Chain A
Amino acid sequence: MNIIVPIKQVPETSNVKMDPETGTMVRSGVESVVNPLDLYALEAALSLKDSHGATVTAVTMGPPKARKVLDMAISMGCDDGVLVSDRKFGGADTWATSYTLSEAIKALGNVDLIIAGERATDGDTAQVGPGIAAWMNLPLATYISDIEVESEKSLIVERLVEEGYERLRLPLPALITVVKEIASPRLPTLRGKKKAMQTEIRTLSTENLTLESTNLGLKGSPTKVVKIETPKVTRGGTVVEAMDDASVTEAVDRLMDFLRQREVV
C-alpha cells in the first residue's frame, strides 16, 4: 500500500507566553514544529505500515526550512519525505494550497491512501485535506477515529460526528482525515533520526511539476486577507477569594447571584 501523509509546519505553541496586557500570544522567537494534529495522521499511516506493510511518504509545502518537519516524519518511521517548495507557491490560501499539493501527490505516482490531520493548529481551517480529495476526485472521509483494513481495495472506518460514530466502507484510493482518538503518536527513534539525516529529500517545484500558473500562491488564491486584528480577551471580571469554609459559602452565594443576574440558572 502506498500512503501519503501531507503535513504542515506550524508555530510551536506549547511554551509561548501570553501578553498580560492584551491576553494574546507572544509570537516572536517562536520555533516551528510539525502541526500537532498531523502526528496522528503520521501514526495512523505508520500503524498500517506495521500491520499490513506500506510505503509511507510525508509531503509538506513550505519554504526550504520546512524540510525539518519531513526529517521528523522520517525519524518516526516514514520511508520518504517530499518538499513542495517554490517562491511562486507563497501566500497560497487553502484552495491554491490544495491544488498545488494535489498536483505534487499525482506526480509521485500510484497512491492508495492519503491520510491528513484533522486541521492545522495555526490556520485552523480543516480545508486542505478535503480540498486535495476534490482536486483528485477521491472519495473523502473526515474525522476518522478508527481504521480497519477490509481488503486490498477497501477500509472500514469510523467517523466522529455530532451524533456519535458513523461506520463507513471506503474504497481505495481515498483520502481520510483523522482525529486524535486514532492512536497515540510514536516518538522519533535514534535509528529514525540517523535515517532522516541520510535520506535525500525530493523537492518538487514549478520546474518539475506541470502546474496552471493562475492557480498558484497569493495571486492564484480566490480569498484575500483584508485586515488582521488582535482582539483583547481579558474580561476584567469579578475575583472572589474562598480559602476557608465561611468564604466558600460567601463566594458560592455571590456566584449564584451573578449567574441568576445573567439569567443562566
Chain B
Amino acid sequence: MSYIWTLAEQANGHLKQVSFELLTRGRKLADSLDTKLASLLIGNGVSAEALRELILSGADEVYYVEDPRLASFSCETYSNIMVELIKTFQPHTILAAATSSGRTLMPYVAVRVKTGLTADCTELDIEETTGNLLQTRPAIGGNILATIKTPNHRPQMATVRPKSTRPPEPDADRDGKIINVPFKEEWLDGRVEFLGYRKDAGDFENIEEADIIIAGGKGMKKAENFKMLRRLSDSLEGMVGATRDAVDRGWIGYSHQIGLSGKTVSPKLYIGAGISGSIQHLAGIKTSEIIVSINNDPEAPLHKIADFAIVGDLFNVLPELQKRLEGGK
C-alpha cells in the first residue's frame, strides 16, 4: 500500500506549526487505509531533534532534503524535488498546508505530475469502497461545501487550511525513520533569485496564525480608534483584523483584511467590533471557533451568526472590556 505524505514547512530552520497540524490529518487517513504516514521536508538547518518531533507527532518516516540553497522557498526548485520524489515513491496522497508556499507549489506540482488537486480543504476522509480521498472544501464564500475526489490519478493532492486542525499530542514512545535524501545539483532551478526580506514591513501581521482576533469595521469611525483594538488584542495576546471597508479607508494595512478579498481566518476567538457583517467578511470568519459581535445595530448580520452578541455602542463596550482584561479576574 502506498503511503500518505504530508509536506512539512520550515522557516529559518524551524518547523512551522502547520507541519504538525497536517500530521493529525495524515495519521487519520493512514490509519483508515492501514498504511504509513511520511512527512517530506525541504529546507536547511533543521535539527535532527526537530525532525524527530515529526515522528513523535505521528509520522512513520521523514524524508528531509537539505541544502543551504533550499533555505528560502523556490517554487521551481522545490517542485523539481517533489516531482522526482513522487515518481520514485509513488505516494497515495499528498497533503500540504494552504499557505503562501503550499498554495503555490502544489498546483505547480499537480500539473507536472498530471494529477488533481483540491484547495483549502476543511475535511478529509477515505471513501470506504474505493479508498479514494474525499476532500471537502468551502466555495462561493463558504456558502457551499463541495466534496471532491480524484478517482483515476495518483497521487491525490490537497491543501488544508492552517488552524483547521489541532496538532497531535507528541508521543514520546513513537518510533520512526528519518531519511536524509541527498540533494542533487540538477534540482536547482535558479531562475528566480531570493534577495531577502523587505526591512520596513509597516504594520504587517500574519493574522492567519492568530488564536484570537479582534477585528474592526466601519463602526470604528477612524484610524485612531484602531488603537483601542490594538490594546485589547495585546491584552488577549491576539492580533488585529479589519473589514475591507476599514482597509480601503486606510485605517489599517491590507495584511489585516479578512474576507473574500482578504484572509480567511479560523481563530479560537474572533471578536468583531463595529462590523455589520457583509457576506464577503463573513466568508472569512465562518470557521472561527467562537464569534463575538459588538455593534449598536440590532439587525447587523454578524450578530446573527455570533455565539455572543452585544447590541451596544462599541465605544462604551470596548473600554469596559479592556478594564476587565487588565484588572485580571
Contacts and interface: CB of A to CB of B under 8 A. Distances in A.
Contacts of B282: 233
B139 interface: yes
B219 to A, nearest CB: 14
B198 to A, nearest CB: 4
Interface residues of B, number: 92
Interface in B129-163: 134, 138-153
Contacts of A93: 116
B18 to A, nearest CB: 9
Interface stretch (B26-34, B53-61, B102-110, B176-184): B102-110
Contacts of A99: 111
B139 A134 contact: no
B50 interface: no
B147 A242 contact: no
Given A124-B139, A130-B108, A223-B149, A165 B192 contact: no
Interface stretch (A68-76, A153-161, A191-199): A153-161
B104 A142 contact: yes
A122 B117 contact: no
A225 B198 contact: no
Contacts, number: 275
A123 interface: yes
Contact of A251 (B140, B317, B325): B317
Nearest to A243: B312
Contacts of A158: 198
Interface string A228-261: 1111011101111111010111011011101100
B201 to A, nearest CB: 4
Task: Name the interface size band of chain A.
Answer: 35 or more
A224 B236 contact: no
A222 B198 contact: no
A190 interface: no
A211 interface: no
A127 B197 contact: no
Given A164-B201, A179-B254, A224-B150, A95 B308 contact: no
A256 B72 contact: no
A255 B139 contact: no
Contacts of B292: 255, 259
Contacts of A13: 141, 260, 279-280
Q: Is the interface of A mostly helix, strand, loop or mixed?
A: mixed
Interface string B247-283: 0000000110100111000001100000000011010
A54 interface: no
A215 B132 CA distance: 21
Contact of A139 (B73, B134, B192): B192
Contacts of B75: 130, 133, 139-142
Interface stretch (A41-49, A58-66, A82-90, A167-175): A167-175
A163 B325 contact: no
A222 B133 CA distance: 13
B193 A225 contact: no
Interface stretch (A1-9, A17-25, A103-111, A202-210): A17-25
A130 B198 contact: no
B135 to A, nearest CB: 8
A177 to B, nearest CB: 8
A222 B310 contact: no
B312 A241 contact: yes
The 7 closest A-B pairs by CB, nearest first: A242-B312, A222-B116, A134-B111, A223-B116, A165-B198, A125-B119, A237-B307
